[in-house]
Amino acid sequence: MPAPPDGAAPARPQPVYDALDTASRGLLPDILDNLADGVVVADAQGRFVHFNPAAVRILGVGPLTVTESDWSASYGCFCEDGVTPVPMLELPLSMAIRGQTIYDRVLCIRNTNTSRNAWISVNASPLKDGDGTVCGGIIVFRDVTAQREELDHIRMLSAVVEQTADSVMVTDRDGLIEYVNPAAARISGFLEQELVGRTPRILRSGVHGDDFYQQLWATLDKGEVYRGTIVNRKKNGDLYHSEQTITPIRDASHTIRRFVSVGKDVTELRKAAEQETRLQLARSVQQRLCPSSPPRTCGLDLAGAAFMTNETGGDYFDFITLRDGCTGLVVGDVSGHGFDAALVMAETRAYLRSMAQTSSDPGEILTLVNRVLVSDLEGNQFVTMVVACLDRRTRTLHWASAGHITGYVLDVSGSVKAELMATGVPLGIFSDATFATATAMDVRVGDMVALVTDGVTEAENAAGGSFGSDRAVAVLQSHQQERAAKIVQRLYRAVRHFSDGVPQADDITVVVCKVDGHSSWRREAHSRPGESA
């Protein structure tokens, strides 16, 4: 029998209807046409016998004049994944025609008449005549797109809850834990089975008093969302800060049935914020203690700068007017980093300036500072420091160094005139330590004094090489004719260029003093000691 025209009522091959009694033959089409589920009946040759309106609505296409081999492509039949076309012999109606019964097979329907993917659940059965011979097949299917989308949504939410890094905990109205996600177990250190059936009291740290929890429950009992940071205790006893959002969950009658708590472990964030606050305070201390400009009456070209790291160290420089009109250049470096180092630096600066009021001898000043620092510093703390004094009356330089790295004096041609090496141990180690004062030489117009911290010499590049003192001296020599402030910047930039992107590991401090032709030292150079210029 030829297939009917597209959209026409399919013919009724006699073998199929012969299997029904006379009464059923009359009622069956009407019954099928009024079903909400789609029904398609085909004979053993793959010709459509019945195609009810629900089937047309669900599939988007009615009975077509196509062969069984073209059903899958014509109706857009795909496997449940929505990607793989269904082979002819795996179509439920084809399988039913061949005597197989199928239950709840899910297919995806996508064709030119469907605006989006539609999923159907199909049951298929063979039709047999009175002799038990298969004479056709029938499929009954329903649109399960909404249910599938809802199920996919639930699966997605479940995956989100299960895989989120934040702790999720569900309790009943009385606070008994019904569910925890893997993150809640990981953060708290308890196993899931150790938490379910218990109350959140198992996490109490003892940091919060009863009033805290009473206010929390008062908020929830009013049906309001609680937001706050709670300090909890892990199974191993460690404390952690959890940023909590606890939401009451209501049923259809608006009665609170459950509470959902979402917690974010912010312990490390709080530690980082506290550390950053301490570092900012340390930077502020360090910046305030270093002079903004040299003394105006010193008659010298002076400049200094401390270039700080992210993790602030304890570098310090200063210009001090000593007794008898001497100018003191000071560079120090406190061991360690952070706020503690900044406090030690502030204390050392205060002691140094106090001692400088009574003495202009660098060794004596360092000896006095050391005596008071020893009792204040912890066992692993110390301070390296160099104090260099320029005496305008005698035009000489004398210095003392408490374990600080070498400073340099360069003449007008750039030759190293003197090295200012350590004359004692670092401050704060031995209470009876003394520091000798060394005298360099006469200071002449064009001479330059340069003092640095080990942030200059120990700066490293990607290959692990150090900038070193030789490179530092070379930079000073190549820019010896420039102003002091420019030389300070030149040396810092040379260090950072050498590091070539490697993060700065330590503070870099540079102090440069030049005796130039515009200073009062030039006029005094023609006067005898003791005479005024």
CATH of residue 71: 3.30.450.20
Q: Are residues 364 and 457 in the same domain?
A: yes
Higher-confidence residue: 223 or 13?
223
Residue 445 lies in a domain: yes
User: Which of 149, 176, 194 represents a domain boundary (last residue)?
Assistant: 149
> Does residue 247 surpass a pLDDT of 90?
yes
Residue 147 has pLDDT above 80, yes or no: yes
Q: Please name the residues in contact with 121: beta carbons below 8 A apart, sequence gap of 6 or more.
A: 104, 105, 106, 141, 142, 144
Rounded CA separation 453/442 (Å): 25
In this predicted structure, which of 9-13, 140-144, 315-319, 501-505 has the lowest mean pLDDT?
A: 9-13
pLDDT at res. 488 = 95
pLDDT on residue 528: 38
Q: Which residue has the higher pLDDT, 368 or 19?
A: 368
Q: Is residue 5 situated within a structural domain?
A: no
Q: Does 1 fall in a domain?
A: no
> Which of 265, 296, 312 delimits the end of a domain?
265
Does a structural domain hold residue 70?
Answer: yes
Shared domain for 360 and 261, answered yes or no, is no
Indicate whether 256 and 293 sit together in one domain.
Answer: no
Say whether both 401 and 485 belong to one domain.
yes
Residues 357 and 470 in one domain: yes
The stretch 360-365 carries a mean pLDDT of 92
Indicate the pLDDT class of residue 3, thresholds 50, 70 and 90: very low
The encoded tokens of residue 445 equal 């117009």
492 pLDDT higher than 90? yes
Confidence of residue 342 (pLDDT cuts 50, 70, 90): confident
Residues 195, 92 share a domain: no
pLDDT band of residue 279 (cuts 50, 70, 90) is low
Is the pLDDT confidence value at 410 over 70? yes
Burial class (CB in 10 A: 0-12, 13-18, 19+), 533: exposed
Say if 32 falls within a structural domain: yes
Percent of the chain with pLDDT over 70: 87
Give the domain extent around 118: 14-149
| From 24-33, 173-182, 283-292, 380-389, the region with the lowest mean pLDDT | 283-292
Claim to verify: residue 246 and residue 187 sit in the same structural domain: yes
The structural domain count of the chain equals: 3
20 and 141 both lie in a single domain: yes
Better-predicted residue by pLDDT, 127 or 26: 127
What is the per-residue pLDDT for 530? Answer: 38
Produce one character per residue of 93-120: b if its CB has 16 or more CB atoms within 10 Å, e if not. Answer: bbbbbeeeebeebebbbbeeebeeebbb
- Supply the pLDDT for residue 278: 66
Residue 521's pLDDT is: 55
Residue type, 195: L
pLDDT classification of 439: cutoffs 50, 70, 90: confident
**pLDDT number for residue 15:** 52
Q: Are residues 237 and 303 in the same domain?
A: no
Q: Tell whether 28 and 114 lie within a shared domain.
A: yes
Neighbouring C-beta atoms of residue 123, cutoff 10 Å: 17
Structure tokens at 439: 């005298």
* Confidence band of 21 (pLDDT split at 50, 70, 90): low
Q: Which pLDDT score is estimated for 344?
A: 85
461: three-class secondary structure by DSSP = coil
92 lies in the same domain as 171: no
Residue 90 lies in a domain: yes
How would you write 501-518 as a 3-class SS string? CCCCCCCEEEEEEECCCC
- DSSP annotation of 53 reads H
HSE, CB side, 13 Å, CA atoms: give it for residue 527.
14
Closest among 409, 470, 412 to 441, alpha carbons compared: 409
Q: Mean pLDDT of all residues in the chain?
A: 86
Q: How far is the CA of 67 from the CAs of 74, 139, 164, in angstroms? A: 10, 17, 51
Q: What average pLDDT does this structure show over 495-522?
A: 83
pLDDT at 443 over 90: no
pLDDT number for residue 529: 39
What is the distance between the alpha carbons of residues 163 and 182, in angstroms, rounded to a whole number?
A: 7
Are 352 and 385 contained in the same domain? Answer: yes
User: According to the model, what pLDDT value does residue 271 have?
Assistant: 80
Work out the average pLDDT over 153-166. Answer: 87
- Does 6 map to a domain? no
Token look-up 């942030």 returns 455
Q: Of the candidates 425, 434, 353, which has an alpha carbon nearest to the alpha carbon of residue 382?
A: 425
- Is 8 among the domain residues? no
Res 360 pLDDT > 90: no
pLDDT at residue 314 tops 90: no
Give the CATH number of the domain where residue 474 resides: 3.60.40.10
Question: Final residue of a domain: which of 87, 117, 149?
Answer: 149
pLDDT at 285: 65
Interval 457-472: pLDDT, tens: 999 999 999 999 999 9
